[in-house]
Chain A
Amino acid sequence: MNKDEHENTESEEIHRRLRESDRANLTTDPPTMGAWERVKLARHPDRPYTLDYVDMIFEGFEEIHGDRRFADDPAVVTGLAKFHGQPCVVAGHQKGRTTKERQQRNFGMAKPEGYRKALRVMKIAEKFSRPVFTFIDTTGAYPGIDAEERGQAEAIAYNLREMAKLRVPVIVTVTGEGGSGGALALGVGDQILMLENSIYSVISPEGCASILWRDATHAQQAAEALKLTAQDLLQFGLIDTIVPEPEGGAHSDPREMGDVLGAYLSDALAAAAALGDKERVERRYEKFRVMGEFEELSE
């Protein structure tokens, strides 16, 4: 795959500028913001959603609907697009902006058919050797009777296994809330990016608080304890890159956010596409294989 981004001097320029500020803001300065502030930013109602990024970063988006099994899940959007002129596939959670749209999209909480649709489209990408970009922004997979009946757990599990095998580059970005298994079901990839104020967690702070503190009002404490910020995940080696956000958060300047993310996606794709298919899948395995922290006592 050719690296079209180098022909685009504008994005190159943005890229350089941001890389410099990135170094200044993220690597040397200690994190000044608490986890709970990040949670609030990640959930900010004006935060750009998947379709906003698709609109800003990709060209010629054609939405693809349905899992060909049961239904079309509006909480997940998938489609064909072009990234710097190159055909690719996009899949991501989609929260609604208006009250009506929020309900229609089930607040970005996907049902099994959403995950199955996403995988279906990723397999089309694999068949025709096109890269995959996924965008994660969900409170979690939908906890409802119908979702359980249709195999919410199986849908997530199957995505985890199949995404590990995809022979094309898979670039994952957590843009807002990375809510547990419902997030991870779109999250197995070669390059994993998190926006500076996004979160990624095994359980929501509220859920954690209600179980361990037996009181959901301890959510702030739980948010700190869960180590769910992009900085935390980078430190544990669970993600590759933190994408800096404009001052005040992504929603304060969505256009700038789109430009920044576009530049980072260029880099991520270039890194993943530089490898042969076999080696890329092997490295993806190794990436997840080393995740985890433990000690081993000698026998």
Chain B
Amino acid sequence: MNGFGALAPLLIIVGAALVILLLDAFLKKDNKNYLACLSLFFLVVCAVFCLRSWNKNLSYFEGQLRLDNLALFLAFLFLIAVAFVMFIGMKYLTLQNVPGGEFYGLLLLALSGLMIMTSSLNFIVIFLGLEVLSVSSYALAGLKGKDEKSSESAIKYFLMGSFASAFLIFGLALLFGTAHSLEISAVLSSFRANFEGQLLGLVGLGLVIIGFAFKISLVPFHMWTPDVYEGAPTPVTAFFAVGPKAAGFAVLFRILAPYWNEGFKSGRIFDVLWTVAALTMLIGSLIGLRQKNIKRLFAYSSIANAGYMLIAVLAGDGASLIFFLTVYLFMGIGAFGSLIALSKKDREYTDLEDFAGVGFKYPWLGAIFSVFLLSLAGFPPTGGFLAKFYVFVGAVRQDLTSLVIIGVLTSLISAFYYLRIIVYMYMREPERDVDIEIENPALFLVLFLCLYGVLQLGIFPGNVLYVIRQAAASLF
């Protein structure tokens, strides 16, 4: 029973993906929304199984599959994220002529990759999970087959992603050479035991970190982000901003937090990552200032946010990291959902100028979008403020004050570009003719839930924090 209980969530998701793909192939219906409802059913069943495993620390296959509380909490986040993305996708798919069955099927496969990655302590399994996620993501980015930008983003993502995977697997080979094992714990204890072999191991660990740094777009490896975010279909972009990023950071934390505890906190890897965090925040907020396209702007915003999350990793502060990821899920999907709301048949409005006057023409949408932007900028009483606050406080306790100062300054800079959108929405006369098709209950349900999440986490975060602390505690 132990084994099945541990395996069930994954089996359900992979099974759901296959069912959806088959149904799409054999039932040729024009309206694909029933597939979204069916996927939602599977997601709920999976969530129930996850809920039943809470606090049980199930493990299977000699620990290659480990459902500790951290993995379960992240699985919950991913399930919520994918459900939201499917719902905001409903409107997008019909309006922009994107194939539906493949969208839901690939999204579920990507979800299974996310769950495999975060529920293992074995590098081989983590790598395979990452590949399942990446391969599905490449196809998702190119779903708008006719659109040139979408194809460009798929190819760019594919080439850069395979390059990053090559780094990752080379690093794994070096780590296996030093430790003769690919369990994270065994690799780390070989670092402790064997000081002479460290250089080879260090290069290996560095290459592994590079592989993940690509996925979570840390600075020297961020070049793909704006192009892919701009070209990919908007619901897919929302997924990219939330899913792979959370999984990448979770895995990085699983590797690095014990590594810091082994007493390597003043080592070379720490210094390099310190610099990377500073650069990521700076470049994310400075280059974001020049962007006129909202999707590119959000790409730079997601790079800057990766910098803040890296601070939490450096501080070894699991609870703040997970809280940040949770808040980021709601505000990220909310922001991209608002972009989808501002679209009509075969036309998306993503230029900054398109937003002039939108706030008065569509007051509800404008208000909701403004809340997400304020949260991204880090204003109280939204979740974005508390997320940054916890990360910074945790970092100051770990003597990372100078990094926190950079973080505060860059979030001030980036507040400018978030606020600029609000200024455009409310204080500019509309110059272009923007008319949108609003009626879509699913989209507005998601926007409302995201709004609720952002405000709940900003005002009464207590219950969620309690659960997150339990999840973070399962690491050690």
Q: Are A and B part of the same complex?
A: no
Q: Which chain A residues have a beta carbon within 8 Å of chain B's beta carbons?
A: none
Q: Which chain B residues have a beta carbon within 8 Å of chain A's beta carbons?
A: none
